[in-house]
Homo-oligomer: A and B are copies of this chain.
């Protein structure tokens, strides 16, 4: 058996489906057999990631590790995680899970246009922001990372994510677009959508902010296609 991509998902379930859909869209294929072979572990019975990072919640690491091990047993040869916040545990999962893990933030940063070189907005959970893996990558490229205000975070981004998890996409769209627009108003040249729920909200309808957004989910999907096809 050749390469099989393992997808650690369920955080949440709709974001996992979105990742699998984008994996298909990013694959040049004329027939079924051209597509990336994938096993997706979407078991959402797992503690929420942001509170675990910010210090108030149970760690999801044991369940995530169980997911990686299940994927390995099933035949996966590398892992992609369909959840930005979960990358906080990337190093522990890679070390203990025994499989290479493609990094969503590397993929998203690689997808930035060369001219977006000064100031990049980031929409993410407080867990992802606290983890800092986007900021450190942007900093090492000499790019300033612009975050939403605390008020925008609590009144727009957190509710937008919750709406996606309830499949209320129209409301999620309005909230996420407003948060993106505020970052553009503050001079962001592009915005990384660094939470797998946010692209679902932004893409629900056309909007003027969409062309400035880099979808980390799609960037990861593209990276996975390259991994599969790249010998």
- Which one, B2, B33, B70, contacts A39 given CB within 8 A? B70
A154 proximity list for chain B (CB < 8 A): none
A contact residues, range: 35 or more
* A37 interfacial contact with B, CB 8 Å: yes
Is A24 an interface position by the 8 A CB rule? yes
By a CB distance below 8 angstroms, the chain B residues around A70 are 39, 73-75
Tell me how many chains of this kind the complex includes: 2
| Contact assessment for B39 and A45 in the assembled complex, using a CB-CB cutoff below 8 Å | no
Interface string of A27-44 (1 = CB under 8 A from B): 001111111011111111
Q: A166 to B30, Cβ gap below 8 A? A: yes
Please, could you name 30 A-B residue pairs with CB atoms under 8 Å apart, sorted by A?
A4-B43, A10-B32, A10-B35, A11-B32, A12-B32, A12-B35, A13-B32, A13-B38, A14-B24, A17-B17, A17-B20, A17-B24, A20-B40, A20-B42, A31-B165, A32-B48, A33-B45, A37-B43, A37-B44, A37-B45, A38-B42, A39-B39, A39-B41, A40-B42, A41-B74, A70-B73, A70-B74, A71-B74, A73-B74, A74-B74
